[in-house]
Structure 1
Amino acid sequence: MSLLPIFWEWAEFALRWLHVITAISWIGSSFYFIALDLGLHRDRKLDTGADGEEWQVHGGGFYNIQKYLVAPSRMPEDLIWFKWESYATWLSGFALMAVVYYLGAELYLIDPNVLEMSPAVAVVVSIVSLSIGWILYDLLCKSKFGDDNTRLMILLYVILVAMAWGYTQVFSGRAAFLHLGAFTATVMSANVFFIIIPNQKIVVADLKAGRTPDPKYGKIAKQRSTHNNYLTLPVLFMMLSNHYPLAFASKYNWIIAALIFLMGVTIRHFFNTMHARKGLLWWTWGATVALFLAVMWLSTAGIYMQDDSDEEAALGPMAQKFAAAEGFEDVHDIVVTNCSMCHAKEPYWEGMASPPKGIRLETTQEVATLAKEIWLQAGVTHAMPPAGSYMYLDDESRTAIRKWYETGLEG
C-alpha cells in the first residue's frame, strides 16, 4: 500500500484541526471584545480616568473591566496583545487550502464545465485574487469615501457580491465558496496585521516616549474591528459549505452567497444592539429566516446539471492515468453498482435531494477524477458505503479498488 496518500490525508486532517482551533480562539476573543466595548457603562465618573467600565462574573469570580480611550497615565508592564489568534488562523487556513485545493486542483479547484485551465493557472488566479481583495479594500478605507463607515460597508458588500459572481465564473462551485470565504478572511486578518496592531504599537511608543497619542489610531482600529465583526459569520458559512452541495452546486450560487452575507449582518446586528443595551431587535431574526428561506428556494430552483456530452474531453492528466490503469473497468462497475444510488445527478435514495458533498459517481470522468476519494473511502477504509445502507462491498471489491489506484499512481 502506498503510504504517501495516507500521509497527505493525515496532514490535511491535522491542518483542518489546527485551523478550527485557531479560528475558535480568534472568533471568541473578537466577539468578546466587541460585546465588551458595546456594553461598557460610560456614564460613570471613574477616578482612573477610564472611558467606561463593566462588571462581569465568570468561573466563580468577579471581574471589573475598564477601557481607556488611549491608555492609562502609566503604561503597565504586562500588556497582552491579541494578534496571534488571527495570524495563526490565516496561516493554517492558507496551508489547508494549499494542501486540498492547490495540490488537488484537478479535483476540487477546476471545473472544465465552468472554465478550462491548467492547475498552475488556477493556483495563480487564486493567490492573486486574495491579494487584490485586501489592496482594494484598504485603499477604500483610507480614502475620503471611507470616512462614512455606513457608505463604506455598503460598497464592501457590493464588492463581495461581485467577487462571488466572479469566483463562480472561474472555479468549481465548491472552490468558489471556499475562495469567497478565504477572500473575506484575508481582509479580516490583514486588518489585524497591517492596521490594528501597528496602530496600537504607535500609541504604545508615544506613551513610552512621553508623547500624547493621537486618538485617530484608535478610531481607525475600531472601524476595522467592526468590519471584521460583521464578516465573521458569513466566512464560517463559506468554510462549512463544501459539505453541503445545495449551497454551492446551483446556478444561483453567487446569489446565495450574497444573501448569506446579509444574514451575517442581521444576526450580528441583533447581538451588537443587545450588547449595547439598546433593546432586542427581534425583527432581525425574522429577516434572517426570510433570507435563509430564499437561500433554500434558490438552491433547489437552480440545481447545477453538468453536461456529460463529452466526458472524455474533460479528463485531466491525473484522471487520464487512472482511467487507463489496469482494473479500471471492474472498479467502474463496482462503484456505479454500489455508489450511484446516492452519488448521482438525481439520487435514488429516498429523502436525498442532492449527492453527498456534490460528488457524483456515474461516468468514466467522475470515477477517474475521484480516484483518490474512492480509494480512501471504499478501498483503504470501510467508510463507504455507509453501514446503515443495504449496499455492501466485500473484501474482494475493496482489494480491486486498492490495486487499481496503486497501479494508476505508478502509471
Structure 2
Amino acid sequence: MNDFAIIWEWLSFAARWLHVITGIAWIGSSFYFVALDLGLRQRPGLPAGAHGEEWQVHGGGFYHIQKYLVAPAEMPEHLTWFKWESYATWMSGFAMLAIVYYAGADLFLIDRNVLDISPMAAIGLSIASLVLGWLLYDALCKSPLGKSDTLLMLVLYAILVFLAWGFTQIFSGRAAFLHLGAVTATIMSANVFLVIIPNQKIVVADLIAGCKPDPKYGKIAKTRSTHNNYLTLPVLFLMLSNHYPLAFGTEFNWVIAALVFLIGVLIRHYFNTNHARKGNPTWTWLVAAILFVIIMWLSTVPKVLTGEPQAAASSQAQKFAASEHFPAVRDTVLGRCAMCHAAEPAYEGIHIAPKGVVLESDAQIGEHAREIYLQAGRSHAMPPGNVTQITPEERKLLVAWFEGAR
C-alpha cells in the first residue's frame, strides 16, 4: 500500500507531463494556423480556387503556403491531418483528472464546507458537467443564435460565468477552477473531434467522388476553430491555477475566473488583429493589466481562504491522528511546516499558505498525511531548501507514521 502511494504519485507526474507535451503540440499548431490564416494575402495569378497565400521563413528555408477554402482541383498525394494533438491533450487531461481528483476526491475534489457530498456523487457531477457543457454549447452553435458570432459569444460568456459560480458551490475552490477549464477544454476538443475533422472529411470525400464540395462545411469548421482560439488562454490559466490559492481559494474566486476569460479574449484579439494586419490595438494590454489588478484586489477581499480545510475530520484523518507516532509527528509538523502552512503564515515573504494547505490542527495534519509523507518523508521537496532544517530522523518519523497507519 505504501509503495502504491509512490507509484500513484509517479503516475500522476507521467499523466501531467504527457498532458503538457500534447497541450504544447495542440496549442502551438492552433496558434500557428490561426496566425497563418489571418496573414494570407490574395494576388493576381493565384491557382484556381486558391483563397490566398503566405511566404514564410524559418529554419534556414522559405515556405510558400496557399489556402483553398474548399479543396484544390485534384487531391494531393499526401494530406496531413491535425487532430491527434487535440485528442491526446484531452485524453491525458482526463486521465490526470481521474488520477488526482477522482482518486483523491476527499482531499482535492470535495470541500465539505461548500457541499457535503460523497466522492461518487462528486465524480458523477464532474463527468456530467463535461458532457452537458458540450451538449449545451453545440446546441447554441446550431441554433439561430449561432448566425451571429458576437451575440453567440456573449451568451456563451454568460454561461461560462454561471458555470464558474456553480462549480464553486459544489467543489473545492481548486477543483472548481479545474472543472471550468476542463469543460472549456472538452468543448474545444469536441469541436475538433465532432465538427472540424468530420466536416473536412466530407469535403475530401466529395472531392474524391468528383463532386463539388459544399463550402458551408469549411465555414462551420472555421467558426469552431475561432472559438477554440479565443478559449485557449483562459484554459491555460485555469489549468495552472491549482498552484495559486490566491486565485481559487478566495470568496470571489468565480469572479476572478470570469475576468480571466476577458483577459484571454483581449490578448487573443491583440494578436489576431496584428496577424491580420488590421492594426496594433495596444489598448488591449492596458485593459488586460487593469483587469489583472482587479483580480489581485479581489483575491485579498477578504483575506480568508474558503478552500481546503474541512469542517470535521474525516475517518482517514482520525486514523492518522490516532497513530502512536502522531504526537511526535504533530510536533515536527508544527515546528518545521506550520510557519508557512498556516491561516496566517509567520515565515517572512509568505502571505498565504502554499497551495492552500494549512497544517495547524490535528485534523488538518491527518487530512494531508499522504502529502506530508511524499513531500517531506519519502522526498526532500519540503521544506524548500530545508529552510527549517528538518532532520533525517524527523523524515524517518514521518515515513513510519504514514506507513504504520496505513
The answer to whether the aligner puts 1:37 opposite 2:34 as a matched pair is: no
Kindly, what percent of the aligned residue pairs are identical?
63
In the TM superposition, residue 80 of structure 1 has moved relative to its aligned partner by: 0.6
Q: State the Cα distance separating 1:388 from its structure 2 match.
A: 5.8
Cα separation, partners in 2 of 1:362 and 1:194, compared to 1, 3 Å = same
- In the alignment, which residue of structure 2 is the partner of 1:398? 395
Report if the CA contact (8 A) 1:263-1:288 is conserved: yes
Inter-partner Cα distance in structure 2 for 1:215 and 1:306: 51
Partner of 1:333: 331
- Using the TM superposition, give the Cα deviation of residue 321 of structure 1 relative to its aligned residue in structure 2, in angstroms: 2.3
In the alignment, the residues of structure 2 paired with residue 18 and residue 58 of structure 1 have an alpha-carbon distance, to the nearest angstrom, of 27
Q: Give 1:243 deviation, angstroms.
A: 0.6
| Cα 1:119–1:275 shift into 2, 3 Å | same
**Worse-superposed segment, 399-408 or 16-25:** 399-408
Name the amino acid aligned to 1:76: P
Question: In the alignment, is the contact (CA less than 8 A) between 2:174 and 2:307 conserved in 1?
Answer: no
In structure 1, C-alpha distance between the alignment counterparts of 2:274 and 2:167, rounded to whole Å: 35
Distance 1:111 1:304 in 2: 15
User: Could you tell which deviates more after superposition, 152-161 or 319-328?
Assistant: 319-328
Residue 326 (structure 1) shift: 2.7
Give the Cα separation in 1 of the matches to 2:230 and 2:350.
Answer: 33
Report the AA paired with residue 144 of structure 1: P
Contact kept, 8 Å, 2:243 with 2:355, in 1: the verdict is: yes
Conserved? CA contact 2:344–2:352, under 8 Å: yes
Match of 1:223 in 2: 223
- Which deviates more from structure 2 when the two are superposed, residues 323-332 or residues 372-381? 323-332
Distance in 2 (alpha carbons) for counterparts of 1:104 and 1:298: 29
Structure 2: segments with no counterpart, 5+ residues = none
Separation in 1 of the partners of 2:182 and 2:231? Answer: 11
Instruction: Determine helix, strand or coil for the equivalent of 2:65.
Output: strand
Structure 1 residue 306, shift from structure 2 partner: 5.3
Match of 1:204 in 2: 204
- The answer to whether 1:109 aligns with 2:96 is no
**Contact 1:233–1:264 (Cα < 8 Å) also in 2:** yes
Deviations 1:321-368 (A, max 9, x none): 222233122212210111110011111112222111111111112111
- Whole-angstrom CA distance in 2 between matches of 1:91 and 1:284: 34
Report what 2:149 is aligned to: 149
Deviation at 1:7, TM superposition (A): 0.5
CA contact (8 A) 2:130 2:183 kept: yes
Does the 8 Å contact 2:259/2:291 carry over to 1? Answer: yes
* 1:238 Cα offset (Å): 0.4
Change (3 A) 1:312 1:31: closer
Match of 1:317 in 2: 315
Instruction: State the 1:49 CA deviation.
Output: 3.2
* Amino acid in structure 2 at the alignment position of 1:399: K
Aligned to 1:387, the other structure's residue is in SS state: helix
| Per-residue Cα deviation, 1:165-210 (whole angstroms, up to 9, x for no partner) | 0000111111111111101000000000000000001111111111
**Aligned pair 1:300/2:297, yes or no?**
no
- When residues 166 and 23 of structure 1 are mapped into structure 2, their CA distance, relative to the original with a 3 A threshold, is same
Kept in 2: contact 1:177–1:248 (CA 8 A): yes
1:84 counterpart = 2:81: no
Give 1:387 shift. 1.7
Among 374, 377, 380, the residue aligned to 1:379: 377
Worse overlay, 57-66 or 399-408 = 399-408
Contact 2:113 2:310 in 1 (8 A): no
- One-letter amino acid matched to 1:276: A
Instruction: Provide the rounded CA distance (Å) in 2 between the counterparts of 1:25 and 1:287.
Output: 29
Aligned ranges 1:46-195 → 2 under 5 Å: 46-195=46-195
* 1:3 is aligned to 2:15: no
* Contact 1:344/1:361 (<8 A) preserved: yes
Q: Secondary structure in 1 aligned to 2:150?
A: helix
Which residue is 2:344 aligned to?
346
Cα deviation code 1:207-226 (max 9, x no counterpart): 11111111000000000000
Equivalent position SS for 2:167: helix
2:47 match: secondary structure? coil
Please state whether the residue corresponding to 2:220 is helix, strand or coil: helix
**Conserved in 2, the CA contact under 8 Å of 1:326 and 1:407?**
no
- Deviation per CA, 1:363-382: give whole Å up to 9, x if none: 11211110000001111111
Q: Is the 8 A contact 2:112 2:310 kept in 1?
A: no
Q: Is the 8 A contact 2:305 2:356 kept in 1?
A: no
Q: Residue type matched to 1:317 in 2?
A: S
CA distance in 2, matches of 1:215, 1:117: 49
Counterpart secondary structure, 1:51 = strand
Q: Which letter maps to 1:224?
A: R
CA–CA distance in 2 between the matches of 1:129 and 1:331?
40
* Structure 2 length-normalised TM: 0.97
How many residue pairs match? The answer is: 406
